[in-house]
Amino acid sequence: MECWVLEFKIDGNGIDFGLCVSSGQVFRWRFDGAKWVGVIGGGWFEVADESGVLSVRSNVGAEEFLRIFGLSKGHDDWFAGILTADPGLSDAVENCRGLRILVQDDPVEVLFSFLCSANNHVRRIEGMVGKLASCGDGWRFPDLEVLAGIDGSDLRAAGFGYRAERIPACAQVVLDLGDWLGFRVCGQWTRMWRLRSCSSCRELARRWRSALRFLGLAMGMWFRLIRIFGMRFDGGMFRNCLVGV
């Protein structure tokens, strides 16, 4: 797959790059002894940390690199809100100095990485995600149609265990329900958390927000009634409330 290759240096702003890409957020990264090499979404990267300055080769520019790796803020800015809410986490935050929350824009890879993560450890998850990624085009993670067509027995032979048949089955379910759930808009898979690209996407986002707001109000009213009337969530009382006995 051909692509532009961009090279630039950028201030790491206190980031511990190795910690970020090996912390269990992403699973297609390796260290070759001199630099980190890996993929996030549609971007591939070679990153060397040179005394706090990151030397980067990639198919994305510096601005996008800043966004993905959260380099616009330093460690204290990143975690200030957490420490304000709970100062007792100060030791944990200090032990994670240099960590950033990475921005991932491929919901398919995020979903199937999550499916591989249950009852698992990072190294084994990396192997599973790498196996799935090998079915894609170049460095890009395969789309749902490809994942749905994978033979579960091949995944079982590769060590996926009970997940083997569930991976293609899940892909097929998402394909079948995609239009109904609103994941497919304007002929492409849409990032539900970043619906801004067109009027159809914005309208869908508005509907989801309205539905969630109504659900939140309904649940809030229900719990207020429970408190007012002293109802308890034991089996008999809860069933009686539901059926009106």
Question: Residue 164 above 50 pLDDT?
Answer: yes
Residue in 106, 115, 110, 107 with CA at minimum distance from that of residue 168: 115
Question: Residue 233 above 80 pLDDT?
Answer: no
Residue in 110, 100, 109, 58 with CA at minimum distance from that of residue 75: 100
Higher pLDDT pick, 33 / 76: 33
Query: How much of the chain is in helix, strand and coil states, percent to nearest 5?
Result: 55, 15, 35
Integer Cα distance of 136 and 221 in angstroms:
47
* pLDDT score of 189: 45
What does the block give as tokens for 121? 């450890």
pLDDT digits (tens, 9 = 90+) for 184-204: 544 444 444 444 445 555 565
DSSP 160-195: -GGGTTHHHHHHHHHHHHHHHHT-EETTEE--GGG-
* pLDDT score of 97: 86
* pLDDT score of 221: 53
Integer Cα distance of 7 and 106 in angstroms:
24
Of 51-65, 94-108, 121-135, 211-225, which gets the smallest average pLDDT?
Answer: 211-225
